[in-house]
Amino acid sequence: MAVKIAFVIDKIDYKIGGTERQLLLLLDHLDKKEFEPWLCVFRYSSWMEKYKQQYNIHYFNFGSFFSPVSYWNLYKFARWLKKNQFQIVQTQFRDGNIVGILAAKMAGIKTILSSRRNEGYWLNKTELFILKLLNRYVTGYLANSESIKRFVQRVEKIDPKKVKVIYNGVDFSYFDNLDTEYKELRNQFGLQDDDFVITMIANLRPVKRVDVLIDAAAEVVKTNNKAKFLLVGDGEEENNLKTLTKKYGLERQVIFLGKRSDIPQILAVSNLGVLTSASEGLSNAIIEYMGAGLPVICTKVGGNEELVEDGVNGFLIRPGDSKTLSGKIAAFIKQPSLVEKMGQESARKARQLFALDVMIKRTENYYKSLLEQEL
């Protein structure tokens, strides 16, 4: 009989971030003969209605932690977990971790997994205190980088033996045979054949510090009029970033593409990938840059150092350092051989460490090992 797993998360909507994308990949590719995944969501979205059947979605309405209704909903959720006899509960995000761990404990679930995928910038002191209290009930932790493992060990005082690092997975087959769409997309974006294209994929939120790239772009175009910048993603900072772009007079050089589903095709017309985040776990965007054979410039935060080796497949910079970023971009523009050499190293490393089938198999084996310990 297949192992029943409840995956607990705050919310999934059409603005899917890296954590949600990795979860859905896992749900899509788990061996259904061995595992039966159920997706438990705490906040409603129209996305849920569209994919309810595909991902076996169950909605539980949780509001504020301090609302009396939430305690009743917690009790109902725990009863539901117990009734459906789940063998594993895996939680992610703030509410998913706190509510999911507590409900699983109340339901008598023996194997409780808690995900750690970034450096906790979204937790306040009270929430961190609650999470640390609940950690006594957790069987194991899933981290997506060695950096995050060290972080939770330091901040939450978690035994490192209980933390399993499994890198994000990417289906690199989507990056093959894209030549036929190359010219079409360059024309669509208004790119010339000799333009040097710098691309950043990110939700436009403050933590991503997209403003740093725009500041750098203002310097780069002073001496490199063929530099073009593609920003892929949307979010709360979009209007502010467009205002900054206009302030610099970069409307022709910085192109806002919004949310896109054709990421491999966009990276096929790019020469360089950039990520300027102030905080990261293990960036899917960087892995995708690497899978597309691009050199990478990114901030020295989170798991980025595990992806980009400075001077080998790209460069690492300090968060907020637009001056160094502009200099590194200019260096790539001046040295096509450097772009090719570092891009090849990116592609090699990506396929060795971050292939989707590797992530799936490692996760399945981890589930099996934990269940064996419970016997």
* Phi-psi category of residue 327: left, alpha or beta, with phi > 0 → left and psi -120 to 50 → alpha: alpha
pTM of the full structure: 0.79
**Nearest-CA neighbor of 198 among 167, 219, 177?**
219
For 130-135, what is the mean pLDDT? 91
Residues 6+ positions from 251 with CB-CB distance below 8 Å:
245
**Nearest-CA neighbor of 360 among 12, 54, 37?**
37
Q: What is the distance between the alpha carbons of residues 45 and 12, in angstroms, rounded to a whole number?
A: 7
Residues 6+ positions from 97 with CB-CB distance below 8 Å:
91, 114, 115, 131, 134
Q: What are the tens digits of pLDDT across the range 96-132?
A: 999 999 999 999 999 999 999 877 656 788 888 988 9
Token pair of 104 as six digits: 């699983």
Q: What is the distance between the alpha carbons of residues 269 and 5, in angstroms, rounded to a whole number?
A: 40
For residues 345 and 337, the answer to whether their CB atoms sit within 8 Å is no
Q: Read off the CATH number of the domain in which 183 is found.
A: 3.40.50.2000
Token pair of 343 as six digits: 């891009």
Q: Are residues 340 and 238 in the same domain?
A: yes
Percentage of the chain exceeding pLDDT 90: 74
Residues 6+ positions from 130 with CB-CB distance below 8 Å:
98
Task: Name the residue range of residue 158's domain.
Answer: 3-169+355-374
Question: What dihedral do alpha carbons 254, 248, 225, 252 form, nearest 10°?
Answer: 40
How would DSSP label each residue in 137-200? G-SEEEESSHHHHHHHHHHS---GGGEEE----B-GGGGSS-GGGHHHHHHHTT--TT-EEEEE
Amino acid at 302: G
Question: What dihedral do alpha carbons 13, 14, 20, 23 form, nearest 10°?
Answer: 90
pLDDT at 93 over 80: yes
For 355-366, what is the mean pLDDT? 95
Q: Are residues 195 and 216 in the same domain?
A: yes
Q: What are the tens digits of pLDDT across the range 33-53?
A: 999 999 999 988 899 899 999
Q: Are residues 65 and 130 in the same domain?
A: yes
Q: Are residues 320 and 280 in the same domain?
A: yes
**Nearest-CA neighbor of 53 among 31, 27, 33, 34?**
27
Q: Are residues 117 and 204 in the same domain?
A: no
Q: Are residues 304 and 334 in the same domain?
A: yes
For 50-60, what is the mean pLDDT? 94
Q: What is the distance between the alpha carbons of residues 101 and 99, in angstroms, rounded to a whole number?
A: 6
Q: What are the tens digits of pLDDT across the range 308-352?
A: 999 999 999 999 999 999 999 999 999 999 999 999 999 999 999
Q: What is the distance between the alpha carbons of residues 92 and 116, in angstroms, rounded to a whole number?
A: 7
Q: Say what the pLDDT of residue 340 is.
A: 97
Q: Are residues 184 and 110 in the same domain?
A: no
Residues in a beta bridge with 24: none
Round the CA-based radius of gyration of the chain to a whole number and report it.
22
According to DSSP, the β-strands at 3-9 and 88-91 are parallel
Q: Any idea which of 110-124, 221-235, 248-262, 357-371 has the lowest mean pLDDT?
A: 110-124
Token pair of 229 as six digits: 């910048």
Q: Are residues 25 and 61 in the same domain?
A: yes
Q: Are residues 142 and 217 in the same domain?
A: no
Token pair of 82 as six digits: 């117990």
Q: Are residues 18 and 91 in the same domain?
A: yes
Q: Say what the pLDDT of residue 281 is.
A: 79
Q: What are the tens digits of pLDDT across the range 148-173?
A: 999 889 999 999 999 999 999 988 88
Q: What is the distance between the alpha carbons of residues 231 and 199, in angstroms, rounded to a whole number?
A: 6
For 76-104, what is the mean pLDDT? 95
For residues 241 and 200, the answer to whether their CB atoms sit within 8 Å is no
**Nearest-CA neighbor of 291 among 143, 174, 202, 167?**
174
Residue in the structure block whose two tokens are 């089938």: 357
Give the total number of structural domains in the chain: 2
b/e code 281-291 from CB counts within 10 Å (16+ = b): bbbbbbbbbbb
Q: Are residues 187 and 283 in the same domain?
A: yes
Q: Are residues 317 and 369 in the same domain?
A: no
Band the pLDDT of 179: cuts 50, 70, 90.
low
Q: Say what the pLDDT of residue 95 is.
A: 87
Residue in the structure block whose two tokens are 């776990």: 281
CA distances from 290 to 182, 186, 257, 267, 284 (A): 18, 20, 20, 10, 10
According to DSSP, the β-strands at 196-201 and 272-275 are parallel
